[in-house]
Structure 1
Amino acid sequence: MAVQIDFKPNRDLLDPKFESYRLSLDPLPVLKQQLSGGVESVDLGDDQYGYLHVRMAGIVNHLFQDSWAPECVFFASEAHHVFWVKLSQDGKLTKPRIVWQLPSDSSRPNANTTISFPCADWTVVSDGAGGIYLLSTPSRTEGEPWQLCHTYHVESCYPPCHLLHSVHYNFPSSHQVECLLAHISRPQDVEGNLKLSETTMHFVCVLEWISFSSAVGSETVSWNIKRQRRLVGGSFPNYAAIDPAGGALCLASEREFSFIYDSQKQNDKDEVEKVGDLKPSTPPLYTYIQSLEDITVVFKIPETITKGDIEVDFHLSSMEVKIRGKVVLQGLLWNNIDVEASTWTVEETKLEVILTKKETGLVWQELVKGDSRGEEVLDPALVEEIHNRLAHLTSENELIDGSAKPAYNPHQLEECDVSSEFFMFLRLEGDSHHVTHQSNIGGHQWLFQSMVSPEKLPTLCLRHDVDGLLWQPKNVLSEDEPEQFRVEHIATFPALGFVQASKQDRKYIVGSPDFSYAVLSDNTRHIYIYRQPESLNAAIELRNRKTGQEVSSIAKQHVVNLEQCDAILGLQACKHCIFVLSKYVLFAIKINES
């Protein structure tokens, strides 16, 4: 049985008195490095139209940071060269240097290159079309050329594919590199013991977990495939990483994932089983979208259904929908409706029921109380209205009149600010395929993933109330601990959950490895930086003009407008600067001059 792990916040890392960010007009130095040849950036093809394709394309960050040397970043050019750039000790950007050329293959479809660094001496590169390259890179910090040691092509992989994570193991007699590759496929095209129903979805997400091994001590290092495992799920995972200490896989996903293939157990089908007691991948019975005045409910119906086959009865606090005498939906509504103003209509294969709210301005938490068969689609206008109600938590203008807004009250949180989606964190054992640890984190909006320490699992940042809380999954090696795996709250980014929701055009969001700031970018040229609250100098006395209370710390917000930047293709952060990648220019915003 899986152990239930607790995402319990550390109260010492929360700031209940946090009010807002103050816009700082202090200029931040911006370094520029012109790039010869455009950055590789391939859009989705006409046949890649599914929601999962869009989800995977949305996580593509074309700038790759070396977690073992955070001041070094890499990117691929349109000519399939891998370039290296570093922020040197004198605070300047080095000139881009080619460290490797991807093998040319005219038959390879256009796809984005992804890079992962399992250790300080090895690098894994995916060409986006199923090709995996294992390279020796002992001098990455100096930008020395990489040496190709092994090439492998995943035959069952459908481009585009994305390299999510990789780890390196040192054994007494061998080295081992494991990598995790994701791609989108039709259910009928997946190789393995697929258990998902093909009738419920057009596309599925496939995770290829591949292990490479080589002998230690040989003059020429020869790598071979040791093991290959395959998982399939109905959603693209927000978080997917290989546990560097225990041969397990950690996932945070909205849908179930199943092991469908294991090269070491391919003759034992009973060992390949569904993992996790997760929500079935069935389509919703209905969808609904609400504004401040009404709710529109949509049912999909067969073409043979006519208006005469449908009955809809409205009451003050309930409704009933019948199709050919069969009750489809019945029950108490979340709140009262205006019966006379409510109506319904049939259009081709769609039944629309429009409920007029009795109390306008109230956001309903659900449509019918206790009915979970429906799915809500958020209205952008409603979301914007909610953001305007909470706009006092951040500002685009410097606050000079000293007026203070009240601190955030969790009872003011609107329903649209709480994620009600099914969302699970799982740790899957690689040999038994069983879930060893799990936690339901539904209700906490996903923010971002970051690498705080290269020898540990990546961290995940979730929204709690309006804050962004950073969580570190970790293995506990002490014999005194009752559990060998847990998730710890290690840092808090105040009001980051609200701040990111207020940026409608946001593209990337990352946090610095030392937790000193978080940074967001939009699609074009704006960078928003949110620093942790800093204590004022004891010699400086600052008081709130309205309340007279002494102000002991200030949280600053910076807004940087990048010139010569038509589209932001990548964003990474280190302790001293923020790297921003555009098509022809690499920017470095110096954040901590000292």
Structure 2
Amino acid sequence: METESFVLKPNRDLLDPNFEGYKLNLDKIAIHSKHVEEGVLQAPESSSNYSYQQVRLYALHNHLWPDPWAPDQSFYFSATGSVCQVGIGPALPAAVRSVPVLQLPASESPRPEPTHPSLSFASDRLALVSDGRGRLHLVDTGDRALSQPWQIQFSDSLLEGRGFVLQHSVLDAAGRLHVLAGHVAEGSAVPEWREQHSDDGAFVNLLTWFTFVKGGAAWRLERLRQAATASTVHYAALDAAGQALCVAADRLEVVLAKVERGQVWPELLPGDGRGEQIVDPELAGEMAQRLAHLTSDAENPKPDAADAYNVAELEDCDDFPEASAALLRLDGDTHAPTHQTSLDSHQYVLTARLAAAEPPGALRATRRGRLLWQPRSGTDDGIVTTSAR
């Protein structure tokens, strides 16, 4: 069955046709600070982290994690391995208090690819903690306004011990927990990517979507899905229902792992003959050797033949750009894009979360102001709606 895909368009009613630009506001902004004597926990610098994707992952990192369910509360990782809560209340207008709520378990062994630790809140009582060394902790926080100690309910080393950064998490209406994590790996280290790409030296951004279910008092991993790209991921989030992945990237490919490696798939979905089969480079080499006697070493064996087209007649519009930025909504079951829009002419600004129970939106700059693409669930067609601020 063919999946219908919608092209997203901005809501023009929210845009100001007379917008002439922004003006500098000199109003003072309240700033609260606290000196952390022991410093913050972060991944050590490494000479092996030299790719553009790794630089973005390490440099564009905020060590302060806000709580969407409590705007006056934030968290950070201290250098001693503690998750500390910092808050600003009405009774403390000029002071910031800090309370440790969780001590990270000691790492079993040094990991070759660590990242900065990260934190994500799936609900008002459930949090995800990544130690940056490949281990994920599911934590019961209780009422976070009380600054009580957190309790680890599940802990496991995922992704073969590679460090990863938490991007988003969702607790759906059925009680399933969806976690989105990102990390950078060499393309040659990802078998599904290596089979389809000849550039072994390329680095790729891998987005991993974990789904956990709870049986009694124990959580277990039920499903794992991945999407990969060798270019920049500007934005990634799961919809509130845990049914789709929304991504803004220059290029994105869904990675499917075969149960039997080396097996040839005549089609991706049974009964659906669309798409293109990409042959493994090693298999292609073997086929070329077998057919060598049918080929010619001459670049143009018929130089007098007329060209199929005139190169001089090609224009710039005929050349497809190497990288095209787009916002996509990928269905979690079919892996097909259900909604998409081009972002080539819009510069990414930031990610904004307008409501605790909703996924963050992607803010882009346009000539008529800032345009916010906000994923929304619960509508009849599951469309990704847009708005402007």
2:239 to 243, 267, 272: 243
Written as runs of structure 1 = structure 2, the 5 A alignment for 1:106-121 is: 107-109=109-111, 110-121=114-125
Structure 2 residue 158 is matched with structure 1 residue 168: no
SS in 1 for 2:256: strand
* Structure whose CA Rg is larger: 1
Query: Could you tell me whether the CA contact under 8 Å between 1:261 and 1:272 is conserved in 2?
Result: no
- Indicate which of 338, 342, 348 corresponds to 1:440: 342
Residue of structure 1 equivalent to 2:360: 458
The alpha-carbon distance between structure 1 residues 144 and 23, as it changes in their structure 2 partners (threshold 3 A), is same
| Partners of 2:191 and 2:343 in 1: CA distance | 31
Q: Which amino acid aligns with 2:105?
A: P
Q: Kindly tell me: are residues 92 and 228 of structure 1, through their superposed partners in 2, closer, same or farther at Cα, counting changes over 3 Å?
A: same
* Cα pair 1:157 1:183 within 8 Å, conserved: no
1:451/1:252 Cα in 2 relative to 1: closer, same or farther (>3 Å)?
A: same
Closer/same/farther in 2, CA of residues 473 and 5 from structure 1, 3 Å limit? farther
Any gaps of 5 or more consecutive residues in structure 1?
281-329, 334-367, 376-420, 493-594
- 1:450–1:12: structure 2 CA closer, same or farther, 3 Å change rule? closer
> Cα gap change, 1:155/1:140 in structure 2, threshold over 3 Å: closer, same or farther?
same
Name the amino acid aligned to 2:250. Answer: E
Which stretch of the first structure deviates more once superposed, 226-235 or 88-97?
88-97
String of CA shifts for 1:543-590, please: whole Å, max 9, x gaps: xxxxxxxxxxxxxxxxxxxxxxxxxxxxxxxxxxxxxxxxxxxxxxxx
Are the counterparts in 1 of residues 16 and 368 from structure 2 also a CA contact under 8 Å? no
CA contact 1:234–1:257 (8 Å) conserved in 2: no
Conservation of the 8 A alpha-carbon contact between 2:176 and 2:212 = yes
Partner of 1:257: 253
Q: Secondary structure at the match of 1:56?
A: helix
State the distance in 2 between where 1:268 and 1:200 align: 21
CA contact (8 A) 1:231 1:258 kept: yes
Change (3 A) 1:241 1:32: closer
1:251 & 1:19 partners in 2: Cα distance?
Answer: 28
* Shift in alpha-carbon separation, 1:331–1:38, aligned structure 2, 3 A: farther
1:372 paired residue number: 319
Match of 1:485 in 2: 383
Q: Distance in 2 between matches of 1:435 and 1:43?
A: 38
CA distance in 1, matches of 2:63, 2:264: 40
Is 2:58 aligned against 1:57?
yes
Query: Does the CA-based 8 Å contact 2:240-2:359 persist in structure 1?
Result: yes
Contact 2:240 2:377 in 1 (8 A): no
- Matches for 1:173-572 after TM superposition, within 5 Å: 175-192=175-192, 195-199=195-199, 202-215=202-215, 218=216, 221-261=217-257, 270-271=267-268, 369-370=316-317, 372=319, 422-465=324-367, 467-478=369-380, 483-489=381-387, 491-492=388-389
Partner of 1:145: 149
Superposed CA RMSD? 3.1
What are the Cα deviations for residues 439-482 of structure 1, in whole angstroms up to 9, with x where unaligned?
2222111111111112112111011116222221212534xxxx
User: What whole-Å deviation, never above 9, does each CA across 1:476-506 have from its counterpart, x for those lacking one?
Assistant: 534xxxx3313221x32xxxxxxxxxxxxxx
Classify 1:204/1:143 alpha carbon distance in 2 versus 1 (closer, same or farther; 3 Å). Answer: same
| Richer in strand (by share) | 1
Give 1:113 deviation, angstroms: 0.5
Check whether the contact 1:193–1:261 (CA below 8 A) recurs between aligned residues: no
2:239 and 2:375 in contact (8 A); partners too: no
Whole-angstrom distance in 2 between the partners of 1:240 and 1:19: 28
Say which of 125, 132, 145 aligns to 2:129.
125
Maintained 8 Å contact 1:39/1:76 = yes
User: Aligned letter for 2:319?
Assistant: S
Task: After superposition, give the CA deviation of every residue in 1:388-420 in whole Å (9 maximum; x if it has no partner).
Answer: xxxxxxxxxxxxxxxxxxxxxxxxxxxxxxxxx
Please say if residues 68 and 120 of structure 1, whose CA atoms lie closer than 8 Å, have aligned partners that are also in contact: yes
Q: Which amino acid is the alignment partner of residue 71 of structure 1?
A: D
Q: Is the 8 A contact 2:207 2:227 kept in 1?
A: yes
Q: Deviations over 1:26-68 (max 9, x none)?
A: 5544333222310123354111111111122233111101111
Aligned-pair distance for 1:2? 3.9
- TM-score (normalizing by structure 1): 0.53
Q: How far does residue 93 in structure 1 lie from its aligned partner after superposition?
A: 3.9
